[in-house]
Structure 1
C-alpha cells in the first residue's frame, strides 16, 4: 500500500489497527520526548513537538504498523525543522518569556506614592534652603551642587576655609532641624 493513501476508518475497526495504533502511540511517547529533548532547548519544547508529531501521525494510522516508527520519527524531525525555521524567521532568540522573566520586568520607575513623597521632600528641602541666610545658602550650594572644595569656595568668596566650614556646618544643622520636622510630620 502507498504511504499517501490511508485506509478508511471502517476498515481499521475491523482489522484491529486502531487498538494496535493506540498501543504504539502510548509505547513511543516517552522515547519520542527524550529524542526531541536532546535536540531542543527545553523539556516543554520537546513535549510540544512530541504532541504535534503524534497528532500528525494520526493521518497515517491506516498504514501498516511496521511503517509507523519510521513515519513518526520523520514527522518529528520535520516538526523540529519547521519550528527551527519559524523561530529563526520570527527572531525567537530575541524574545523574552514573560513567564520566566516576569520578576525582572518590574518597572524601574518609582510608584506613585514614592514619586509624591519625593516631590514633597524636594519642596521641603527647597523651603529649608530658602530660609538659610543668603551667604550660608550660597556656600552650601557651591559645595553640594557645584562640587567645589572648601578651599575653592574660600578663594571664590574671598573668605577663609574656616569660615566656609562654619557656613557649611550652620547650613547642615539648620537643614537637619527643618527637614527633621518635615519627616516627623510625614511619618505621623
Structure 2
C-alpha cells in the first residue's frame, strides 16, 4: 500500500479517510461530509490547532457532530404523502392560497433581511433547521443567553412586520 504524497501532511492526510469512513456508516453521505468539514474547520480555526493526535481529534469531533445531527433529525417525525390516508392530505380549497403564500414568503424574507446577521442565523437554525439554542450557541461561539436574546429580537421583529398576514 502506498503512502500519501509528501504534501498531504497533518489534518489533510486524514480528510479522505474521514469522509470515506463516515459516509459508509451514515445513511446520508452529505451529513458525513458536513461533519468532516466542521471538524476540519474547528481544527484549523480553533484553539485545537496544536492537538497532538489530529486524526483522533478529527474522528471524535466528526462523530460528535454526527450524533448531534442524528438527535436533531430524530426530533421530527416525517411521513411521505403516500403514507398518509386520503383524508389527511393537505387540501387547497382557496384558489388564492398560493398567491398569499408567495406574498407571505416574500414578506418574511424581506423582514429577515432587515435583521442583523446573528439574529437571522439564530432564527433560521432554530425554527427551520431545528437546532437547539445550546447547539446554536456552540456553533456561533455565543452564550446561551445571547442566543435567546437574538431569538427574542428576531421573533419580535417578525411579529411586527408580518402582523398584516395573520388570519382574521
TM-score bracket for this pair, using the shorter chain length: 0.3 to 0.5
- TM-score, with length taken from structure 2: 0.43
Larger fraction in helix: 1
- TM-score, with length taken from structure 1: 0.39
Which protein shows a greater Rg? 1
